[in-house]
Amino acid sequence: MAGSMRLVAQPDTWGLCVFVGRDSLGKVKHRYVRFRGTKRQAERKLARLVSEQEAKPAPIVETELRWNSATTINDAIVAWRDNGWADLSPSTTRRYEGLWKVQIKDSIGRRRIASLSSYDVEKYLRGLKDKGLAEATVRQVRSVLGRACRLARKWSGGALPNPVADSELPSWSIESQVPVRVPSLDEVQRLLVGAQSLDPRISCILRLMVATGIRWGEACAIRWSDCDLMLGTIRIDKSIVPNKGSATVKSPKTRTSIRSVAIDEGTLDELVRLRKIQENLAQAADITLDADASVFSFGPGGLAPPHPDSISHALTRTRTQAGVGDDIHLHSLRHFQATVLDAVISEKRKQSRLGWTNAIMARHYTDSVLDEDRRAAEHIGRQLGKGTGIDVDLKEPHTGQIMDPD
């Protein structure tokens, strides 16, 4: 309703109310005017006010937040959201927003920061634990609260405290922590066989993830220009992260995630076969498959990389097809790689191959692949066996050159 009126004093004083919009928190805002005159005159005045308001450009609404004893946790989080979340990755902001709306907003979020103590914060966190939330979730909630209160303290010029700084997390027993289960070699092989009946792109991306241990977002971002089919290496320098209704290309998780890894012959064979399939699809659509095309795109020409969620859904179908338990996830394939490599390469090289943050070897922005990494690829290849087993010779022996099938 754009406007309303009511009689506020006898006989001819009216209160006029005009809707002017919403603030950044979604709260409705109105303009109130007192008018003296007859009812008909008041109606005409209200109509003019509504017309004037509708003719105005949409206002740029800014929250006038005063950093004082009345500032709440929600106020601080909203201020941080408007002045800081844009620098974070879409997946991080989505996680923060979910934690805020589900766990914080309607509980401790309403509390004034100045009224909170570390005791209050710890009691709240323990309440989350008692509700059955996992340790990782409670830890993330505390992280969001801590950052918001730290910024509130800074933006208030030190007037507000940070009650989260001295708080401690509840303790969880080791037995209550459920680790990621590493799939057995038999389960991995069954997954790869099951994927072959679904789609060649799904079969190839799962094979690549198992064979290299790369993250699923990194796998989705691989382009043909990142694949050296002559040397048998993959360059990893980007990642796809899911966003609201879309996906975003960004740098990998950490600087150490930028790397080149060797791939085994079976995985290379699957990539060569997929390359030929993508070329045929592009040709049928009268499109050129260029070097920057996405390797695992579901569209002809490789114009758009796959959404990470589509690979997750594909794994669900593959698990069903292969009869593998639903406790095996995409990240489990990365754990499989780390476990299998324990016996063949050093811990430093494994850190480098998997792109862990604490990788010691300096190989940033270089395409070199060490002999030890090559041994790792060959060992994984022997464990997994050959690729799809399709009797099509797409690569000349020992050359790596793509050939047309007979």
Please tell me the pTM assigned to this model: 0.56
Q: Please tell me the predicted confidence (pLDDT) of residue 9.
A: 77
**354 or 294: which leads in pLDDT:** 294
Residue with tokens 């004034």: 112
Question: What is the DSSP secondary-structure string of 67-112?
Answer: -STT-BHHHHHHHHHHTTGGGS-HHHHHHHHHHIIIIITTTGGGSB
Q: Please indicate whether residue 97 or residue 86 has the higher confidence score (pLDDT).
A: 97
Strands (E), 216-302: 227-228, 233-236, 239-243, 246-250, 259-262
Task: Tell me the helices (H) and strands (E) count for the chain, helix number first.
Answer: 13, 8
**What three-state secondary structure class fits 94?**
helix
pLDDT tens digits along 55-80:
877 654 544 567 999 999 999 999 99
Tell me which of 149 and 12 has the higher pLDDT.
149
Stronger pLDDT, 171 or 373, i.e. the higher one: 171
- Mean pLDDT over 102-106 rounds to 94
pLDDT tier for residue 227 given thresholds of 50, 70 and 90: very high
Query: Which tens digit of pLDDT belongs to each residue from 232-245?
Result: 999 998 888 877 66
Confidence (pLDDT) at 401: 35
Contact 91, 136 (CB under 8 A): no
Per-residue model confidence (pLDDT) at position 395:
35
Which segments of 102-184 does DSSP mark as H helices, in order?
118-130, 135-155
Q: What is the DSSP letter of 104?
A: I
* DSSP state, residue 114: G
The one-character DSSP state at 171 is P
Q: Set out the domains of the chain in order of their start, with CATH numbers.
A: 3-55 (no CATH), 73-174 (1.10.150.130), 185-384 (1.10.443.10)
Checking 171-179 for CB contacts under 8 A at 24+ apart, the result is 172/129, 172/135, 176/135, 177/135
In the chain, % of residues over pLDDT 70 = 84
Each residue's pLDDT tens digit, 252-284: 766 778 888 899 999 999 999 999 999 998 888
